[in-house]
Amino acid sequence: MSALGDEIRALIGQEGPISLERYMALALAHPTHGYYMNRDPFGAEGDFTTAPEISQMFGELIGLWAAEIWAAIGGPDPLRLIELGPGRGTLMSDALRAARVAPEFRAALDVCLIETSPALAAIQHDTLLTAGAPVAWAAQLEDAPDGPAVMIANEFLDALPIRQYVRGPRDWRERLVGLDGAGRLTFGLAAEPERSIKGPAEEGDVLEINALGHRLMFEIGARLARQGGAALFIDYGHTATGFGDTLQALRAHRMVDPLVDPGEADLTAHVDFAAMARSARAAGAAVYGPIDQGDFLKALGLEQRAQALSSRAAAAQAADIEAARLRLTGKGPGQMGALFKAMVVANRQLPVPPGFQALAGAAI
Ligand code: SAH
């Protein structure tokens, strides 16, 4: 058992079973032993690989996307370019480099990175040292400076802790983390039913609630409605709210048991985009999508960008570019194009954002 595992078992021994939300929050963000707190989890050596780590094209296209939003809202100076959960800082670094083609946009940028992990903030600092734009850090969005903003969140919402409720023969019960007879962490159910969940369901159905995500989407929707701008969310998840247990733990690119060695594996859950959209809309913002990541990137010109890069590259590099293009946009198994979705929350005055034109008129 990890050090954090021992700590969580002691906590449960004293206080009784804890919610999955609290368990995930401890496993990911415990100040000393939390998964994100003291490591670099990305890439071949790490536990998982994200789109910006696959290819520079991803961040570049998003940088140009941000420049188009900036132009559409009248080119405010400063523009707060806010990234939630920036990982290694790779996306932002690629975005700022691509933004060189729009010098006025680049000059207006005031970058703010929202990051809880000191270890990752240090890596972001090194990555962005020479990026040529002022960069500041905040632990939460409410500490970011006010004003018109473009926000970016890639694989952020899936890292927020969720609650799970399980439908029994008669009622819903919250899934809790407790101890078995041998003192090991195990899943169980709350003694009391959760009466606030309504609607038809079958025994065994699992409902996931991302309360932190809801709060954040409401905050973002309200901010963009008041101060202008747009927020881009890219993540894996489903377009319609449904039932299912999507909690997963990844370690060294393999699925592992989420209750074994907390703090040593990445814990995530699929994003319920419809639920997130409801909160942003309730706060007065428009929502576009979600659409498949593959369609979004193609609409932004990924294929042309890949061709341009390949034409200047050696054969081996050209093969890498082609592999990255396929991984980011392909819709088959092991590819990200359909598994991942893109969704935009925006001020209602904003025209249809780039990448979503195929949905024109379908702001929901
Ligand atoms: N966007 C990056 C990293 C995704 S991993 C990429 O695509 O490569 C999730 C990121 O969110 C990490 O940087 C993690 O430290 C950060 N994070 C997780 N929970 C957070 C929270 N509640 N507040 C701020 N950052 C958080």
Pairing of strands 185-189, 172-179: antiparallel
Residues of the chain where predicted confidence (pLDDT) is lower than 50 = 361-364
pLDDT of residue 247: 97
Cα 99 to ligand 1 centre (Å): 23
The residue nearest atom 3 of ligand 1, judged by CA position, is 87
CA distances from 67 to 62, 98, 152, 196, 206 (A): 9, 10, 13, 44, 41
Whether the CB-CB separation of 321 and 308 falls below 8 Å is answered with no
pLDDT of residue 359: 65
Cα 87 to ligand 1 centre (Å): 6
Q: Is 67 in the pocket of ligand 1 (CB under 6 A)?
A: no
Whether the CB-CB separation of 109 and 82 falls below 8 Å is answered with no
Q: Is 156 in the pocket of ligand 1 (CB under 6 A)?
A: yes
Q: Is 58 in the pocket of ligand 1 (CB under 6 A)?
A: no
| pTM of the predicted model over 0.75 | yes
pLDDT of residue 361: 47
Q: Is 235 in the pocket of ligand 1 (CB under 6 A)?
A: no
Whether the CB-CB separation of 90 and 55 falls below 8 Å is answered with no
Amino acid at 349: Q
* Residue in 82, 105, 79 with CA at minimum distance from that of residue 92: 82
H/E run at residue 298: helix 293-299
Cα 285 to ligand 1 centre (Å): 24
Measured from the CA of 154, which atom of ligand 1 is nearest?
1
